Protein backbone atom coordinates (compact mmCIF):
# COMPACT_ATOMS: atom_id res chain seq x y z
CA UNK A 1 0.00 0.00 0.00
CA UNK A 2 1.43 3.40 -0.94
CA UNK A 3 1.87 6.31 1.45
CA UNK A 4 -0.94 8.87 1.57
CA UNK A 5 1.62 11.62 0.97
CA UNK A 6 5.09 11.47 -0.47
CA UNK A 7 6.89 14.78 -1.06
CA UNK A 8 10.43 14.84 -2.46
CA UNK A 9 12.56 17.97 -2.70
CA UNK A 10 9.62 20.40 -2.60
CA UNK A 11 10.72 23.97 -3.19
CA UNK A 12 8.79 27.23 -3.25
CA UNK A 13 10.09 30.72 -3.89
CA UNK A 14 7.73 33.72 -3.78
CA UNK A 15 9.00 36.36 -6.16
CA UNK A 16 12.03 37.44 -4.11
CA UNK A 17 15.34 35.75 -3.75
CA UNK A 18 14.89 33.61 -0.65
CA UNK A 19 13.31 30.19 -0.67
CA UNK A 20 10.21 29.98 1.52
CA UNK A 21 10.62 26.20 1.25
CA UNK A 22 14.04 24.85 0.39
CA UNK A 23 13.60 21.22 -0.63
CA UNK A 24 11.27 19.41 1.76
CA UNK A 25 11.08 15.61 1.93
CA UNK A 26 8.11 14.18 3.81
CA UNK A 27 6.37 10.82 3.73
CA UNK A 28 3.09 10.39 5.61
CA UNK A 29 1.70 6.88 5.99
CA UNK A 30 -2.00 6.07 6.26
CA UNK A 31 -3.40 6.75 9.73
CA UNK A 32 -0.60 9.03 10.91
CA UNK A 33 -1.21 12.32 12.73
CA UNK A 34 1.67 14.67 11.84
CA UNK A 35 2.29 18.17 13.21
CA UNK A 36 4.34 20.69 11.20
CA UNK A 37 5.96 22.97 13.76
CA UNK A 38 8.30 25.96 13.71
CA UNK A 39 8.45 29.69 14.33
CA UNK A 40 6.58 32.30 12.30
CA UNK A 41 7.91 32.46 8.74
CA UNK A 42 9.61 29.04 8.87
CA UNK A 43 7.53 27.75 5.94
CA UNK A 44 4.80 25.68 7.62
CA UNK A 45 1.86 27.12 5.68
CA UNK A 46 3.86 27.11 2.45
CA UNK A 47 4.49 23.39 2.86
CA UNK A 48 0.88 22.65 3.83
CA UNK A 49 -0.48 24.53 0.80
CA UNK A 50 1.81 22.56 -1.48
CA UNK A 51 0.77 19.27 0.15
CA UNK A 52 -2.87 20.29 -0.31
CA UNK A 53 -2.44 21.21 -3.99
CA UNK A 54 -3.55 24.79 -3.24
CA UNK A 55 -0.21 25.94 -4.63
CA UNK A 56 2.42 24.48 -6.95
CA UNK A 57 6.07 23.83 -6.13
CA UNK A 58 8.86 25.39 -8.18
CA UNK A 59 10.75 22.10 -7.90
CA UNK A 60 10.22 18.64 -6.46
CA UNK A 61 7.57 15.97 -6.74
CA UNK A 62 4.41 15.15 -4.81
CA UNK A 63 2.47 11.89 -4.76
CA UNK A 64 -0.94 11.72 -3.10
CA UNK A 65 -2.38 8.24 -2.56
CA UNK A 66 0.22 6.95 -5.03
CA UNK A 67 -0.69 9.39 -7.81
CA UNK A 68 1.92 11.85 -9.09
CA UNK A 69 0.17 15.22 -8.85
CA UNK A 70 3.27 17.31 -9.63
CA UNK A 71 2.40 17.96 -13.25
CA UNK A 72 -1.38 17.91 -13.40
CA UNK A 73 -3.46 20.57 -15.17
CA UNK A 74 -5.37 23.08 -13.00
CA UNK A 75 -8.63 21.16 -13.55
CA UNK A 76 -7.10 17.84 -12.66
CA UNK A 77 -5.51 19.38 -9.57
CA UNK A 78 -8.88 20.79 -8.49
CA UNK A 79 -10.33 17.28 -8.75
CA UNK A 80 -7.52 15.90 -6.59
CA UNK A 81 -8.24 18.58 -3.98
CA UNK A 82 -11.94 17.85 -4.03
CA UNK A 83 -11.72 14.06 -3.80
CA UNK A 84 -8.66 13.40 -1.72
CA UNK A 85 -8.13 16.35 0.62
CA UNK A 86 -10.15 17.96 3.39
CA UNK A 87 -8.98 21.38 4.61
CA UNK A 88 -9.42 23.14 7.92
CA UNK A 89 -8.19 26.74 8.25
CA UNK A 90 -7.51 28.99 11.24
CA UNK A 91 -10.31 31.38 10.22
CA UNK A 92 -12.83 28.64 9.29
CA UNK A 93 -13.57 29.87 5.71
CA UNK A 94 -17.31 29.20 5.94
CA UNK A 95 -19.73 30.89 3.54
CA UNK A 96 -21.65 33.39 5.73
CA UNK A 97 -24.98 33.16 3.88
CA UNK A 98 -25.19 29.37 3.97
CA UNK A 99 -26.56 27.39 6.91
CA UNK A 100 -24.23 24.98 8.72
CA UNK A 101 -25.63 21.96 6.83
CA UNK A 102 -25.36 23.78 3.49
CA UNK A 103 -21.72 24.72 4.19
CA UNK A 104 -20.92 21.11 5.06
CA UNK A 105 -22.71 19.81 1.95
CA UNK A 106 -20.76 22.04 -0.47
CA UNK A 107 -17.95 19.61 -1.40
CA UNK A 108 -20.60 17.05 -2.39
CA UNK A 109 -22.13 19.46 -4.88
CA UNK A 110 -18.89 19.40 -6.84
CA UNK A 111 -18.99 15.60 -6.66
CA UNK A 112 -22.50 15.67 -8.26
CA UNK A 113 -24.30 14.04 -5.33
CA UNK A 114 -28.10 14.80 -5.41
CA UNK A 115 -29.18 17.62 -3.08
CA UNK A 116 -31.32 15.61 -0.65
CA UNK A 117 -28.49 13.10 -0.17
CA UNK A 118 -26.00 15.94 0.30
CA UNK A 119 -27.98 17.53 3.13
CA UNK A 120 -28.65 14.18 4.77
CA UNK A 121 -24.95 13.35 4.73
CA UNK A 122 -24.09 16.87 5.96
CA UNK A 123 -26.40 16.44 8.95
CA UNK A 124 -24.79 13.07 9.79
CA UNK A 125 -21.39 14.77 9.83
CA UNK A 126 -22.69 17.64 11.98
CA UNK A 127 -24.02 15.05 14.47
CA UNK A 128 -20.58 13.45 14.55
CA UNK A 129 -18.89 16.73 15.47
CA UNK A 130 -21.52 17.41 18.15
CA UNK A 131 -23.58 19.97 16.23
CA UNK A 132 -26.71 17.97 15.43
CA UNK A 133 -28.74 20.72 17.17
CA UNK A 134 -27.28 23.56 15.05
CA UNK A 135 -27.75 22.33 11.47
CA UNK A 136 -29.90 25.31 10.39
CA UNK A 137 -27.80 28.05 11.99
CA UNK A 138 -25.78 30.54 9.94
CA UNK A 139 -22.04 30.88 10.76
CA UNK A 140 -22.72 34.30 12.36
CA UNK A 141 -25.05 32.58 14.82
CA UNK A 142 -22.39 30.09 15.96
CA UNK A 143 -19.40 30.39 18.32
CA UNK A 144 -15.85 30.14 16.96
CA UNK A 145 -15.49 26.59 18.23
CA UNK A 146 -18.80 25.62 16.63
CA UNK A 147 -17.75 27.25 13.33
CA UNK A 148 -14.54 25.22 13.40
CA UNK A 149 -16.55 22.03 13.97
CA UNK A 150 -18.71 22.93 10.96
CA UNK A 151 -15.50 23.38 8.96
CA UNK A 152 -14.21 19.98 10.12
CA UNK A 153 -17.52 18.34 9.15
CA UNK A 154 -17.21 19.99 5.72
CA UNK A 155 -13.62 18.74 5.38
CA UNK A 156 -14.78 15.18 6.10
CA UNK A 157 -18.07 15.03 4.19
CA UNK A 158 -16.58 13.66 0.96
CA UNK A 159 -14.56 11.14 3.00
CA UNK A 160 -11.11 12.21 1.74
CA UNK A 161 -8.07 10.08 2.62
CA UNK A 162 -6.19 13.13 3.91
CA UNK A 163 -7.13 15.90 6.35
CA UNK A 164 -4.97 19.06 6.40
CA UNK A 165 -5.29 21.79 9.02
CA UNK A 166 -3.46 25.12 9.39
CA UNK A 167 -3.51 26.38 13.00
CA UNK A 168 -7.03 24.96 13.56
CA UNK A 169 -7.15 26.22 17.14
CA UNK A 170 -5.43 29.57 16.42
CA UNK A 171 -8.60 31.68 16.66
CA UNK A 172 -10.22 29.81 19.53
CA UNK A 173 -10.28 30.24 23.30
CA UNK A 174 -8.60 27.46 25.27
CA UNK A 175 -11.81 25.49 25.98
CA UNK A 176 -12.95 25.47 22.33
CA UNK A 177 -9.39 24.74 21.24
CA UNK A 178 -9.26 21.73 23.55
CA UNK A 179 -12.56 20.43 22.12
CA UNK A 180 -11.22 20.73 18.57
CA UNK A 181 -8.04 18.85 19.56
CA UNK A 182 -10.15 16.13 21.18
CA UNK A 183 -12.07 15.84 17.91
CA UNK A 184 -8.81 15.49 15.94
CA UNK A 185 -7.68 12.84 18.43
CA UNK A 186 -10.91 10.90 17.85
CA UNK A 187 -10.54 11.18 14.07
CA UNK A 188 -6.96 9.95 14.36
CA UNK A 189 -8.10 7.01 16.51
CA UNK A 190 -10.63 6.17 13.77
CA UNK A 191 -7.76 5.87 11.31
CA UNK A 192 -7.84 9.27 9.58
CA UNK A 193 -4.58 10.67 8.23
CA UNK A 194 -4.00 14.22 9.50
CA UNK A 195 -1.32 16.83 8.84
CA UNK A 196 -1.67 19.89 11.07
CA UNK A 197 0.35 23.10 11.21
CA UNK A 198 0.88 24.67 14.62
CA UNK A 199 3.42 26.84 16.40
CA UNK A 200 2.07 25.70 19.80
CA UNK A 201 4.02 22.82 21.43
CA UNK A 202 0.99 21.76 23.48
CA UNK A 203 -1.16 21.46 20.34
CA UNK A 204 1.67 19.58 18.61
CA UNK A 205 1.84 17.11 21.51
CA UNK A 206 -1.47 15.61 20.32
CA UNK A 207 0.20 14.39 17.09
CA UNK A 208 2.30 11.24 16.85
CA UNK A 209 5.04 12.90 14.77
CA UNK A 210 6.37 16.45 14.99
CA UNK A 211 8.20 17.69 11.88
CA UNK A 212 10.23 20.82 12.69
CA UNK A 213 10.83 23.57 10.10
CA UNK A 214 13.43 26.34 10.26
CA UNK A 215 13.98 28.89 7.51
CA UNK A 216 12.30 26.72 4.88
CA UNK A 217 14.12 23.52 5.84
CA UNK A 218 12.85 20.43 7.62
CA UNK A 219 15.51 20.20 10.32
CA UNK A 220 14.40 17.33 12.55
CA UNK A 221 11.55 15.18 13.75
CA UNK A 222 10.48 14.43 17.32
N1 LIG B 1 2.23 34.89 -0.76
C2 LIG B 1 3.48 35.18 -0.36
N3 LIG B 1 4.25 36.07 -1.02
C4 LIG B 1 5.52 36.36 -0.65
N5 LIG B 1 6.12 35.78 0.40
C6 LIG B 1 5.43 34.88 1.11
C7 LIG B 1 4.08 34.53 0.78
N8 LIG B 1 3.64 33.60 1.66
C9 LIG B 1 4.67 33.40 2.52
N10 LIG B 1 5.75 34.15 2.19
C11 LIG B 1 7.06 34.15 2.88
O12 LIG B 1 7.54 32.81 2.91
C13 LIG B 1 8.09 32.49 4.19
C14 LIG B 1 7.35 31.31 4.79
O15 LIG B 1 6.01 31.73 5.09
P16 LIG B 1 4.88 30.77 5.68
O17 LIG B 1 3.60 31.47 5.57
O18 LIG B 1 5.00 29.43 5.04
O19 LIG B 1 5.37 30.66 7.21
P20 LIG B 1 4.64 30.00 8.46
O21 LIG B 1 5.64 29.06 9.07
O22 LIG B 1 3.33 29.44 8.08
O23 LIG B 1 4.47 31.25 9.43
P24 LIG B 1 3.26 31.63 10.46
O25 LIG B 1 3.49 30.79 11.69
O26 LIG B 1 3.49 33.08 10.74
O27 LIG B 1 1.95 31.34 9.79
C28 LIG B 1 8.02 33.77 5.00
O29 LIG B 1 9.27 34.41 4.90
C30 LIG B 1 6.94 34.56 4.34
O31 LIG B 1 7.15 35.94 4.49
MG1 LIG C 1 1.34 29.95 8.59
Ligand 1 pocket mutation pick from 10, 11, 12, 14 by most atoms within 8 angstroms of CB: 14
Q: Which residue ranges have their beta carbon within 6 Å of ligand 1? A: 14-15, 20, 38, 40-46, 199
> Cα(166) to centroid of ligand 2, in Å?
7
> Cα(114) to centroid of ligand 2, in Å?
36
Element at 204 (helix H, strand E): helix 201-204
- At residue 4, the pLDDT reads 95
Of all protein residues, the one whose alpha carbon is nearest to atom 2 of ligand 1 is: 14
Residue-wise pLDDT tens digits, 46-105: 999 999 999 999 999 999 998 999 889 999 999 899 889 999 999 999 999 999 999 999
Domain boundaries, the chain: 5-221
| C-alpha span between 46 and 38 (Å, rounded) | 12
- At residue 39, the pLDDT reads 93
pTM (two decimals): 0.92
Ligand 1 pocket mutation pick from 11, 42, 57 by most atoms within 8 angstroms of CB: 42
Q: Which ligand is nearest to the CA of 44?
A: 1
| C-alpha span between 120 and 105 (Å, rounded) | 9
Of all protein residues, the one whose alpha carbon is nearest to atom 28 of ligand 1 is: 41
Categorize the per-residue pLDDT at 29 as very low, low, confident or very high, splitting at 50, 70 and 90.
very high
Of all protein residues, the one whose alpha carbon is nearest to atom 6 of ligand 1 is: 14
Has residue 160 got a pLDDT over 70? Answer: yes
Report the alpha-carbon angle 5-162-191, nearest 5: 105
Burial 41-50 (b: 16+ CB within 10 A, else e): ebbbbbbbbb
Categorize the per-residue pLDDT at 1 as very low, low, confident or very high, splitting at 50, 70 and 90.
low
Of all protein residues, the one whose alpha carbon is nearest to atom 11 of ligand 1 is: 20
Of all protein residues, the one whose alpha carbon is nearest to atom 30 of ligand 1 is: 41
| C-alpha span between 29 and 191 (Å, rounded) | 11
Beta strands in the chain (DSSP E): 5-13, 19-28, 33-37, 59-64, 67-68, 85-88, 162-166, 193-197, 209-214, 217-221
- At residue 88, the pLDDT reads 93
> Cα(211) to centroid of ligand 2, in Å?
14
Element at 49 (helix H, strand E): helix 44-51
Return the CATH superfamily for domain 5-221: P-loop containing nucleotide triphosphate hydrolases (3.40.50.300)
Amino acid sequence: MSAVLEARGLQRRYGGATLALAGADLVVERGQFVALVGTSGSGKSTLLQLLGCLDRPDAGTLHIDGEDVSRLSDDALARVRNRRIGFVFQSFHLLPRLRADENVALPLRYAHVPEATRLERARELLERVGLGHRTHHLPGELSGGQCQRVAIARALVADPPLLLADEPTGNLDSTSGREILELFTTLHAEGRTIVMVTHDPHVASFADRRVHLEDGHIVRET
